[in-house]
């Protein structure tokens, strides 16, 4: 099973800051950012691709995202909302989306090369319980912007103590590899907000601070920023998302986020995929604004029965990040002997 990104071709790019993104799913994730050279940060941001989105599939035409549910039903699906103070007034929603979108674009405009300590716990489960667990993996997690200026590419990947990439090690042992969590706020970028519908749920305290709670769901046939996942038979399908974001009322940074599949994908046996991200503030001496980066992440994926899988199977990855710092590559000249 593999994953790719449904991204616009280079000839379809519009002027402005454009990007490619794979969102907290499996395998390798990257982001491409193109800067048009304008110097004012307030004028920079993400632009929608000129690529036409694919037409809604039959299973997507009558989809009902969970943001349409009454609050009581929504809390059953998302227990994290059990302490929310609900609202039915949507007048504040445009303001919340505008200010949150500004912070999302600010993050991508100001992001620098970073490295953090990462600990991963992986489990592979079946109807009989845990089918295969692993001891915690400890590695270095990198968020790297390859180029600056006109064009740049963000990559998230892992290294061992010797500097070797280790993303494929889990796949060889029958586990899923998950990454891309620093980029999960992308749906709230102003350039991509038109691809989703939003609902202001209410307010909730997160770590003792008040936050706005906003649900979203991508719109089938309109969303451009979609991931593509391929099953064992080579069938490739697009994955649409829905989710909930907790936005700090004072700073308008996203402090928590949960995303779920909007539509099941029985073609590849994918019944469920949930990613939960807790962000924390990271301040660097040479970066003017704080960076809100993943601290704790859990990814749950459930695969149903299929011709190649006689039983249900599920995977759970839990990630913990500490000690974010600048990542700099240094070289040393050695004189010939």
The structural domains of the chain, with segments of one domain joined by +, span 2-48+63-326
Residue with tokens 């459930």, as numbered in its chain: 302
Give the per-residue pLDDT at 158. Answer: 86
Q: What is the pLDDT of residues 162-206, one digit of tens each?
A: 777 776 554 445 566 677 788 889 899 998 999 999 999 999 999
Look over the chain and give the mean of its residue pLDDT values, rounded to a whole number. Answer: 76
Report residue 18 as tokens: 């454009």
User: Of the candidates 325, 250, 245, which has an alpha carbon nearest to the alpha carbon of residue 278?
Assistant: 245
Which range among 157-166, 213-222, 321-330 has the greatest average pLDDT? Answer: 213-222
Per-residue pLDDT tens digits for 201-249 = 999 999 999 999 999 999 998 888 877 776 666 677 788 999 999 999 9
CA torsion, ordered 134, 140, 146, 151, to nearest 10 deg: 60
Mean pLDDT of 124-142: 71
Q: If 0-12 CB within 10 Å is exposed, 13-18 middle and 19+ buried, where does residue 207 land?
A: exposed
Q: Tell me the whole-structure pTM to 2 decimals.
A: 0.80
Q: What percent of the chain has pLDDT over 90?
A: 41
């Amino acid at each position: 099973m593999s994953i790719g990104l449904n991204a616009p071709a280079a000839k379809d790019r519009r002027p402005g800051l454009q990007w490619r993104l794979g969102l907290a799913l499996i395998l390798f994730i990257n982001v491409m950012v193109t800067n048009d050279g304008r110097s004012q940060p307030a004028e920079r941001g993400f632009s929608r691709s000129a690529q036409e989105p694919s037409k809604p599939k039959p299973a997507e035409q009558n989809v009902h995202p969970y943001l349409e549910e009454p609050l009581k039903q929504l809390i059953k699906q998302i227990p994290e909302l059990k302490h929310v103070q609900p609202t039915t007034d949507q007048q504040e929603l445009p303001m919340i989306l505008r200010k949150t979108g500004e912070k999302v674009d600010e993050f991508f405009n100001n992001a620098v090369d970073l490295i953090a300590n990462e600990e991963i716990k992986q489990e592979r489960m079946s109807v009989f319980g845990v089918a295969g667990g692993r001891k915690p993996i400890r590695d270095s997690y990198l968020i790297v912007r390859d180029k600056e200026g006109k064009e740049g590419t963000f990559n998230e990947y892992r290294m061992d103590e010797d500097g070797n990439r280790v993303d494929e090690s889990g796949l060889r042992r029958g586990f899923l590899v998950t990454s891309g969590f620093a980029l999960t706020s992308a749906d709230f970028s102003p350039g991509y907000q038109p691809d989703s519908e939003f609902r202001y749920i209410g307010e909730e305290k997160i770590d003792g601070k008040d936050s706005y709670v906003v649900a979203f769901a991508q719109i089938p046939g309109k969303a451009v920023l979609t991931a593509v996942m391929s099953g064992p038979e080579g069938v490739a399908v697009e994955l649409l998302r829905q989710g909930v974001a907790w936005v700090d009322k004072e700073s308008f940074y996203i402090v928590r986020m949960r995303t779920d599949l909007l539509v099941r994908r029985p073609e590849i046996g994918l019944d469920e995929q949930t990613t939960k991200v807790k962000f924390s503030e990271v301040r660097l001496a040479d970066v003017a604004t704080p960076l809100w980066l993943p601290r704790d992440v859990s990814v749950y994926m459930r695969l149903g029965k299929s011709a190649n899988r006689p039983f249900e199977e599920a995977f759970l990855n839990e990630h913990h990040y500490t000690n974010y710092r600048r990542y700099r590559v240094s070289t040393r000249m050695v004189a010939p002997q």
